[in-house]
Every structure is written in C-alpha cells, then in structure tokens.
Amino acid sequence: MRILILTHRVPFPQNGGYPIVVCNTIRSLVNLGHEVSLVALNAKKNHHENNEQDKELLSKINYRAFNININVSVIDVAINLFSKTSFNIDKYYNAEFEKRLITELKKTAYDIIQFEGLMMSLYVSSVRKHSKAKLIYRAHNIENQIWQRLSQQKSDPFKKSYLRMHAKRIKNYELQQLNNFDGIAVFTEQDKTTLLEYGTRIPIEILPVGIDLTRYKPDLSLTEFPSLFFLGSLDWLPNREGIEWFLDNFHQDLIDGELPVRFYVAGNDIPERFDDYEVLGKIFIQGEVDDALEFVNSKSIMVVPLLSGGGMRVKIVEGMAMQKCIISTSLGAEGINFTDGENILIANNRDQFYDAIRLCITDEEYCKAIGANARKLIEQQYDINTVTQNLIQFYNTVS
C-alpha cells in the first residue's frame, strides 16, 4: 500500500507520546513492506535528524515538513472570545500548506491517508476533494474531554468558565468532523464508547499503543533504589497540571517528611518556574534528557499523577516495558489492561499516592515484582508488530 501520514508536529526527536506512536507505526509499516510518506507541520522548527535511529527511519520514507507559526497573541485570544471556534484548533490551519498538500495529492495516488489527531482534520475536505484514498482518523485523544477535565480542576471561576468554553467549541468541531472519514482508530475502549455516543457512523477500531520491545532492555544493576521519577512533555497541559499538583502536595514530604526518597522530573518544555521546586539532593528538575530510556532505567518508581486528559499514556507503556514500578491515577492508566497491585499501583488522591510511595520505597522486592509483571503484560498485548498488522487489517476493511 501507499500510505500518507499527516501530523500536526514533527515527530522527531521521539521525546513524547505523540512522536513515539507516529514513528513506531511508520517504522512497522515500512518493515511490513508498505510505501510510507510523512507530511508534517513544523510549528517548533524542530530538527529532523537528531540521532541515528531517526536518520535510519527518514532514509526509508518520503518526508516533508512545512514550517508554520502557531503563536497566538493576547489580541488573538481576546478576539477569539467572540468566535464560535477555538484558536487551539484554528491555529493549525495554513492556506499555503493546504496548497502544498493538494500538489502532493495530485502527484501521488495514495491508498490510505492517515490523519494523526484532530488538528489535521482541518484539511480533510481538501484531501477528500483531491484524492481517492481511504481516509483514516487516528484519535490520540477525545480533545474536548481534555479541556473539560482541565476545567473541573480549576477553582478560579473565570478560568473554569474559559476552559469550559473551549471544551464546548472543540466538541462542536469534533462532532462536525467525525463522520468525514472512512474509519477511525482509537487507543481505548473508553474512547470508542465516547465516539459512538457522539453519533459516529463509520467503522471504529481499537488499536492500543504498540512499541518495539527490542528497544527496551532494562538493566536493574543500573537502577537507583529507592528513587521516584516523572517523565513527560510539559507543553501538554494535563502533564503540567498533574506534576504541579504532585509537587505542591509532596514537596515538604520529600524534603524533610516521611518519604526519604529522591524525586527526578524530566521532559521537554519544562517552564522556568519549576526551578523553584528544586531542592539540593532531594528534588531534581532536570529538563529534557539525552536518552529517555537510559533515564527511565536509572530510576525505580514512576509516578503518573494525571488528573485530566484521555487516550492511552505512551510513557506508562514504555515504563512497563522497562520493568518500572508505576504509581498512576486511574485516568493516567486508562486504556491499559492493568491489574491494580499486580502490574501497576493505582492512586487517585494524595493519601493513596502517599501510601503507595511509602510502600514502594520500603520494599524493593515488591517493586521488582510489580515491574516484572508489567513487562509481561506489555509483551503479551502491546507489541508493535501485532498492533500494526491489525491496523493493516483495518485499512482493508474500509477499502
């Protein structure tokens, strides 16, 4: 098959859930013998060749990136208050990119065009008009739910109202777009149920996050025990909200309380204000790390204090593959076929997080057992080769 992947950001480097999912899918499609093209909006002016792994993948596909400015001014935000749409979606529309995309479609006859996320659906009408390909929408999240859940965490009436407004506008847009494709791929049963409730009439397939297990080689001899860590991109609001909640609630316990454990925070786009949380020898705000898997391997207990968001958390799947003992909210672990107390620990409030951390930092063998069971779960259900073969089968059902 000739397959075109459309993304609203450059998936290089693979330093977050979205780029990891996209690149794993592309790599597996290529390995199965399909011809893959990737066209990406490049909002952050990312480099396209950050390491040998990226270069190897790029050498096997047709790749183009289009620079786009998604910065929004205070005036733009004010004007948008009187609009019926959300600038969080609209800012990804670019007329020049649309022309380039049409040129691409006239030049190459694709069998499948896959839209990675809601932002790229801005171009579905033009794609439909200029291509006979089957159009697949991969819903990384139910976008309006993220904003609705964010609003529920706010106590400030203005912020709560503002976020609810965006949630409503984004939901209206999602409802308009859902049946404009030939099929939808989701990561979780919860997301499929939601889309069906929204009135989706086209085929929906549940395809979980898949990873290449050969890349995940845990070495427990290099792991610091006990140690807590968080890894995630803080340009995604639910991640930022969750880690702020955790630091605000446990800052004192980690410094001089009854949780004698070091806490490491790593990821890209960490705001400068997070430096205020850092405490010498206790709390480390590291920012982006050179090798994410090496960082994960070096720490023992992963925390995922996600309070809003949706879809499936790739970092949990990766953490499980690296045999980490993970403490997560139910929402953070959504879509993963976990068993609480066997391959992950679920904590939904401060007291539950405290008890779970206390248990884990005092019992190394228990942590290792949770991590070993987590790895088994990933091996059984989340191998990228199996997931991609199921994706191809889905392509064929809508063709």
Q: Do 213-381 and 2-210+383-398 fall under one CATH topology? A: yes
Tens of pLDDT, residues 334-373: 989 999 999 999 999 999 999 999 999 999 999 999 999 9
HSE of 236 in the Cβ direction (CA atoms, 13 Å)?
Answer: 24
**pLDDT by residue for the chain (399 residues), tens digit each?**
999 999 999 999 887 889 999 999 999 999 999 999 999 999 876 555 567 888 899 999 999 999 999 887 777 777 777 777 888 899 999 999 999 999 999 999 999 999 999 999 999 999 999 999 999 999 999 989 888 888 888 888 888 998 899 899 999 999 999 999 999 999 999 999 999 999 999 999 999 999 999 999 999 999 999 999 999 989 888 999 999 999 999 999 999 988 999 999 999 889 999 999 999 999 999 999 989 999 999 999 999 999 987 667 899 999 999 999 999 999 999 989 999 999 999 999 999 999 999 999 999 999 999 999 999 999 999 999 999 999 999 999 996
Structural fold of domain 213-381: Rossmann fold (3.40.50)
HSE of 389 in the Cβ direction (CA atoms, 13 Å)?
Answer: 5
H/E/C letters for each residue in 320-361? HHCCCEEEECCCCCCCCCCCECCCEEECCCHHHHHHHHHHHH
pLDDT value at residue 254: 96
pLDDT value at residue 47: 56
| The model's pTM | 0.88
Structural fold of domain 2-210+383-398: Rossmann fold (3.40.50)
Tens of pLDDT, residues 284-343: 999 999 899 999 999 999 999 999 876 678 999 999 999 999 999 999 999 899 999 999
Query: For the chain, what are the domain ranges?
Result: 2-210+383-398, 213-381
Q: How far is CA 153 from CA 146, 159, 163, in A?
A: 11, 10, 10
CA distance 187 to 209: 6
